[in-house]
Structure 1
């Protein structure tokens, strides 16, 4: 098959479907295990496995010259083009080019031209003449005034510098890369070099570039993808682990709400994910990538995976957000000054509050702030933004007010509903709750005193440190 298909691939299941048509004249339904993904929230109308299976059948029908099948699959591919993200349009464009499906090819080129797919991806992933055609069509959309010419000139200089970095990476020459960075006025971030090396270079080179520590691992490219999103598309476990070890955020989402793990799920077929592994056999890379990313999210429960299409995930997101809202609300109640400072550092006050237990107490809580016309996607993205801000608030609290945070940790384990809803309890229960409330106030005071004492000791020691100026010592001032 590789000799017959120098530009494509036909898998075992796709070839069986093709043979079935040859012998029976009927097209079998696509096997679910190879034409769907493992994302429970996906409708499978344009995910990569569905597209890949149609592409494989198109190659088979074209190579063995079965025109009625070619026509059928051409219609399927046209249906995918309008629904798929631009990265998934690429394999459709490639098969249309090699099998001379002009209608599909024209539609794909139009989609790519109108997209924000970068020039590097065009050159790397499209046939040369198609990439040239796309660039030419894009240039026709630009104005040719003097300002545009000036911008193009500056862009050409930057593009030349970026290409020099990419060539060094293509040659696996990290020493040359360092030399270019030291001598030219460009950074790895300006060249989106981590995105490039993670997408197209050997995994060892990717690790070496990461070890330089000269780039932001959470940088977004022009498409809004972080380096981890791009690594998820490649599905190379060692690169994903290296990025996570360098501080890549597994919860960051794309503009359409996809996290790294949901990207992996939408690229993975059930056949590969659920494959039985014999003793001593290697686990499928797709499965490893998903497991690693899910484990990272479980390790940091404050910010979970936000696959906006799953109702179960949405419910889980609600619960996590309510817990965070409650923790911060109690922090504001028990430690108002510290909580305010932590929220200011985390910019939490710029996000809209979600009604938690405290917010829902009363008649309407924060329902007036909710927009019933919002789509689930917009709602979940708004909740994610709030969750990230609150998580940063909790992190700041732990860093600067550890004893206060410890009190909150213990308090969150108590019966929150009972402590808050004291007036609706029986008399004996009210007495128990009042006792617990007094104990809590004492714990709060002790925690506040400890944090303040440690802060004062830190300030005192720093002020009494000799400066070494003129060979003398500066006396620290005392502040009461």
Structure 2
């Protein structure tokens, strides 16, 4: 009697090379099927998920210390932080922290950072990686803006969130995270508006990220950002390198650029310093002595960007400045003011005839600029009684109401006698609405 041989399934055992910890993993595989997942990977994944429960499950609150960020205490487990970060290991050895609830040690984030800021959401994101070894998606409420047409791939909130994470990774000595966030910031440098490269350069300088510093300096040097904005926003060492690159570019340029008058530049700087000192009377004296006008010094732009609102009022009251003047970059005073997001200055400029419909060279009006700078968290936040009103929401609402009322705003002869009272009333009403 003949028997035909049936095909039989076979098991094969393959030995893998030694792992980094010295152990050897053995993969059990069936012919014609995928390899059985590595048991070590499964174990690490389970450990990661278990540790994550310590952060997300209120019933698993076994934390033994608090770190206070933006007035909010965040419970942490010192043994985990100490095992993952040399910074925290040394901190917990050296300092017991102030006594919080139930005698728990309490540390303030502002005391831990020698430079920069780390917000609440950024620290939770950082903690999640420390506990689990995994990067979560960035929280939309703090890493995007409220502009509907923005791709959020290089807007200011997206950049600021990664900048905060870089400060945390660098200060708390997590080199693997530093490498990840440096790559993200390098990507931003190529995409972002030149103004948004400034905070990237600042964090690169403090965290000593040489490649990021070099690429950021190159980008800013090639941009049209004026020297004053660079000096106000960047460390002196970085400013000097940018100016050296600009000088070389000007020397290599074949076009005949108008010569710079050192005396004129010096007089303009004096006017700006007088504004910094809130001394408008000195400004008037300097204007008389130097034969330089407020518009030639871009004095109103400067005041809207850096000075107290009352100084802006006093400069406008001189009646010598064009409220819709464009600076060398094509920005009006209102464009500069919305970057600062100070409602009182925005309302003041609108009452003096500033046109909200004016566009920048890249097609942005004041509302779109403001929206691209505002996070959903700030736009939708509620203001508790007795606290400062939600300035982000007020700025956008005031500008949008002005656009609806006067979308073209092409005629500066429109009666400004009605506008001041209307706009100030709107500002008060909006503040009250936000508080409620």
Q: TM-score, normalised by structure 2?
A: 0.67
Aligned: 1:117 with 2:199: no
Secondary structure of 1:82 counterpart = helix
Indicate if the aligned counterparts of 2:295 and 2:321 stay in contact, CA closer than 8 A: yes
Aligned to 2:327: 221
Q: How large is the RMSD of aligned CA atoms in angstroms?
A: 2.2
Q: Which residue among 164, 172, 175 is the counterpart of 2:281?
A: 175
Structure 2 distance, partners of 1:86, 1:113, is 9
Q: 1:280 to 1:129 in 2, by over 3 A?
A: closer
Aligned to 1:231: 337
Aligned: 1:188 with 2:294: yes
How is 1:69-108 mapped onto 2 (pairs within 5 angstroms)?
A: 69-108=177-216
Structure 2 distance, partners of 1:141, 1:278, is 52
- CA shift, 1:211, in A, is 1.5
- CA shift, 1:4, in A, is 3.0
Q: 1:142 to 1:21 in 2, by over 3 A?
A: same
Aligned to 2:366: 260
Aligned: 1:248 with 2:354: yes
Secondary structure of 2:250 counterpart = coil
Q: Deviations over 1:270-294 (max 9, x none)?
A: 0110112345544311111001101
Q: Which moved more, 1:2-11 or 1:171-180?
A: 2-11
Aligned to 1:21: 129
Structure 1 distance, partners of 2:386, 2:404, is 27
Structure 2 distance, partners of 1:13, 1:45, is 19
- CA shift, 1:88, in A, is 0.3
Q: Deviations over 1:274-329 (max 9, x none)?
A: 112345544311111001101111111446xxxxxxxxxxxxxxxxxxxxxxxxxx
- CA shift, 1:2, in A, is 2.2
How is 1:340-355 mapped onto 2 (pairs within 5 angstroms)?
A: none
Aligned: 1:208 with 2:287: no
- CA shift, 1:192, in A, is 0.7
Aligned to 1:354: none
Q: 1:213 to 1:14 in 2, by over 3 A?
A: same
Aligned to 2:174: 66
Secondary structure of 2:404 counterpart = helix
Q: Deviations over 1:22-61 (max 9, x none)?
A: 1111111110000000001111000000000000000000
Aligned to 2:44: none
Structure 1 segments of 4 or more deviating over 6 A? none
- CA shift, 1:144, in A, is 8.4
Aligned to 2:116: 8
Secondary structure of 1:2 counterpart = helix
- CA shift, 1:148, in A, is 7.1
Q: Deviations over 1:168-216 (max 9, x none)?
A: 1111111100111122110010011111111111122122112111101
List gaps (5 residues or longer) in structure 1. Answer: 304-387, 400-480
Aligned: 1:298 with 2:411: no
- CA shift, 1:157, in A, is 1.8
Structure 1 distance, partners of 2:407, 2:238, is 45
Indicate if the aligned counterparts of 2:382 and 2:390 stay in contact, CA closer than 8 A: no
Structure 2 distance, partners of 1:239, 1:301, is 20
Aligned to 2:153: 45
Q: Higher helix proportion, which one?
A: 1
Q: Which moved more, 1:276-285 or 1:73-82?
A: 276-285
Q: Deviations over 1:438-467 (max 9, x none)?
A: xxxxxxxxxxxxxxxxxxxxxxxxxxxxxx
How is 1:292-371 mapped onto 2 (pairs within 5 angstroms)?
A: 292-302=398-408
Structure 2 distance, partners of 1:156, 1:252, is 32
Aligned to 2:75: none
Indicate if the aligned counterparts of 2:143 and 2:157 stay in contact, CA closer than 8 A: yes
- CA shift, 1:101, in A, is 0.7
Q: Higher strand proportion, which one?
A: 2
Q: Deviations over 1:225-251 (max 9, x none)?
A: 100000000000000011001100000
Structure 1 distance, partners of 2:380, 2:249, is 47
Q: Which residue among 365, 382, 392 is the counterpart of 1:276?
A: 382
Structure 1 distance, partners of 2:249, 2:120, is 43
How is 1:369-380 mapped onto 2 (pairs within 5 angstroms)?
A: none
Structure 2 distance, partners of 1:162, 1:45, is 38
